[in-house]
Amino acid sequence: MSIFVIDGHPLMREAVVMLLRRLRTTKKIIELDRVASVAPAIAMHGMPDLVCLELKLPDTFTVSGV
């Protein structure tokens, strides 16, 4: 199982990742800072099973992801 954690704030992203690692240490967790990083991450790591997404990312408009 792989998890993408996408958050523009490094400290918040780190806190979410730390929590997830405590809950599921055997899962692959990929940290991303913007939506534009998702396509290259999928190409490198494959499709994630779960996505933790900040709704107000700097490179998005509302929840559309564009």
pLDDT at position 62 = 59
For residue 31, being part of any structural domain is answered with yes
Residue 65 lies in a domain: no
Beta bridge partners of 31: 5
Q: Indicate whether 26 belongs to any domain.
A: yes
Residue with tokens 């990929």: 30
Host domain of residue 38:
2-53
Residue 42 domain-assigned (yes or no): yes
The pLDDT of residue 30: 95
Residue 59 lies in a domain: no
Q: What is the model's pLDDT at position 64?
A: 57
Task: Give the model confidence (pLDDT) of 5-64 as tens digits.
Answer: 999 899 999 999 999 999 876 779 999 998 889 999 999 999 999 999 887 777 676 555
What's the structural domain count of the chain?
A: 1
